């Protein structure tokens, strides 16, 4: 399977998620083989990120969406861990604050978009505004929307235009939908409830979302179909097997960075000359090694006469 096979085609009004197998191995074979690939890709990402941080042409936005327990946190931990923390920001977007609700629905994410040379990872995003806000009654009113007719189509248009603006300004937008089956979500939520070390992850909201599975599946299908564009396509990532999801996303991130043909900035002739002079200055301060024989000059004629007088005295 190629990565392009995971892309949502542009122009679909609603995606049929049944066409994407959440248990697919994506051609990776077994878990051991996938781990080797992921390890190699993480090393590639780390090396490419060092060069990426020195350029001023591109920013990278990695956007992760999926139902509760789909594995978003695990992707960040296992795939992005090789990146230099100084050049990456990770944001998790939950319920908007009172201030955020007074602004447009793209405001809080727009405020933290990465500048060129940096990478931002969104754990959930503005897409929640056409997912949970669509499913949970009352949230639209909390945002001050009194007439919801046609609201979702308008928001799809706004998101597409926003992402086009980002890409035109140099931001690469990678969007991953972690495709989890209802039964696998049930198993993972159950593990959280029954395993003491995982109970900190559990919440009543997760179970409420699971109970509304069909409503969320419909919201995701519409969102994926309406917002997968040539400039910011969605990837539907099989996520029933965590190792598949992590390896696929790692491969796409590595391939994307590699496709930029990155290189370190070339110094100008003026900078080369300036730094050559500074290097020569530093070299002139070098002290001889303790192991090297100390070079002494022969005494001068005056020094020789003084030594002779001192000896005769």
Q: Decide if 238 is inside a domain.
A: yes
Query: What is the Cα gyration radius of the chain?
Result: 29
- Which phi-psi region, left, alpha or beta, contains residue 117 (left: φ > 0; alpha: ψ -120 to 50)? left
Residue 174 forms beta bridges with which residues?
62
Span 31-59, pLDDT tens digits: 999 999 999 999 999 999 999 999 999 99
- pLDDT of residue 312 exceeding 60: no
Q: Which residue shows structure tokens 């979500």?
A: 185
Q: Decide if 305 is inside a domain.
A: no
Q: Decide if 34 is inside a domain.
A: yes
Span 279-301, pLDDT tens digits: 999 999 987 766 666 555 555 55
pLDDT of 82: 81
Q: Provide the 8-state DSSP code for 3.
A: G
Residue 175 vs residues 153, 227, 235: alpha-carbon distances, Å: 19, 10, 6
Q: Which residues contact 106 (CB under 8 A, 6 or more apart)?
A: 126, 158, 159, 162
Q: Decide if 208 is inside a domain.
A: yes
Q: Decide if 56 is inside a domain.
A: yes
Span 257-284, pLDDT tens digits: 999 999 999 999 999 999 999 999 999 9
Q: Decide if 71 is inside a domain.
A: yes
Helical ranges in 93-241 per DSSP H: 98-101, 107-110, 132-135, 139-142, 151-168, 182-194, 204-211, 213-227
Span 105-154, pLDDT tens digits: 999 999 999 999 999 999 999 999 999 999 998 898 888 888 889 999 99
- Dist CA 102 CA 145 (whole Å): 11
Give the domain CATH number at 40: 3.40.50.300
Q: Decide if 229 is inside a domain.
A: yes
Whether residue 66 contacts residue 178, with contact meaning beta carbons closer than 8 Å, is answered with: yes
- Dist CA 111 CA 116 (whole Å): 14
The answer to whether the pTM exceeds 0.75 is yes
pLDDT of 307: 54
Q: 180: helix, coil or strand?
A: coil
| Residue 86 exposure: Cα atoms within 13 Å on the Cβ side | 4
Span 166-220, pLDDT tens digits: 999 999 999 999 999 999 999 999 999 999 999 999 988 889 999 999 999 999 9
Neighbours of 159 (CB within 10 A): 22
Whether residue 67 contacts residue 209, with contact meaning beta carbons closer than 8 Å, is answered with: yes
Q: Decide if 49 is inside a domain.
A: yes
Q: For residue 7, give its domain range.
A: 3-258
The count of structural domains within the chain is 1
- Residue whose C-alpha is closest to residue 220's, from 310, 130, 86: 130
């Amino acid at each position: 399977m190629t990565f392009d096979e995971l892309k949502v085609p542009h122009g679909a009004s609603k995606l049929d998620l049944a066409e994407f197998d959440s248990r697919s191995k994506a051609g990776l074979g077994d878990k051991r083989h996938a781990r080797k690939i992921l390890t190699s890709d993480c090393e590639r990402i780390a090396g490419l990120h060092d060069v990426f941080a020195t350029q001023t042409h591109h920013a990278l936005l990695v956007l992760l969406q999926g139902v509760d327990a789909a594995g978003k946190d695990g992707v960040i931990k296992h795939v992005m861990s090789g990146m230099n923390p100084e050049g990456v920001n990770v944001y998790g977007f939950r319920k908007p604050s009172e201030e955020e609700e007074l602004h447009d629905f793209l405001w809080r994410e727009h405020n933290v978009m990465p500048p060129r040379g940096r990478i931002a990872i969104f754990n959930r995003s503005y897409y929640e505004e056409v997912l949970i806000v669509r499913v949970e009654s009352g949230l639209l009113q909390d945002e001050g929307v009194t007439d919801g007719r046609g609201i979702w189509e308008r928001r799809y248009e706004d998101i597409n235009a926003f992402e086009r603006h980002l890409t035109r300004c140099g931001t690469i937008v990678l969007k991953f939908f972690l495709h989890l089956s209802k039964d696998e979500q049930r198993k993972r939520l159950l593990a959280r409830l029954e395993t003491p070390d995982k109970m900190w992850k559990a919440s009543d909201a997760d179970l409420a979302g699971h109970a509304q599975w069909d409503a969320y599946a419909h919201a995701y299908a519409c969102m994926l179909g309406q917002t997968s564009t040539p400039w910011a396509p969605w990837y539907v990532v099989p996520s029933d097997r965590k190792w598949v999801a992590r390896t696929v996303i790692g491969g796409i991130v590595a391939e994307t960075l590699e496709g930029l043909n990155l290189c370190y900035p070339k110094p100008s002739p003026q900078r080369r000359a300036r730094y050559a002079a500074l290097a020569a200055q530093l070299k002139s301060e070098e002290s001889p090694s303790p192991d090297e024989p100390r070079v002494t000059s022969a005494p001068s004629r005056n020094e020789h006469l003084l030594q002779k007088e001192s000896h005769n005295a």
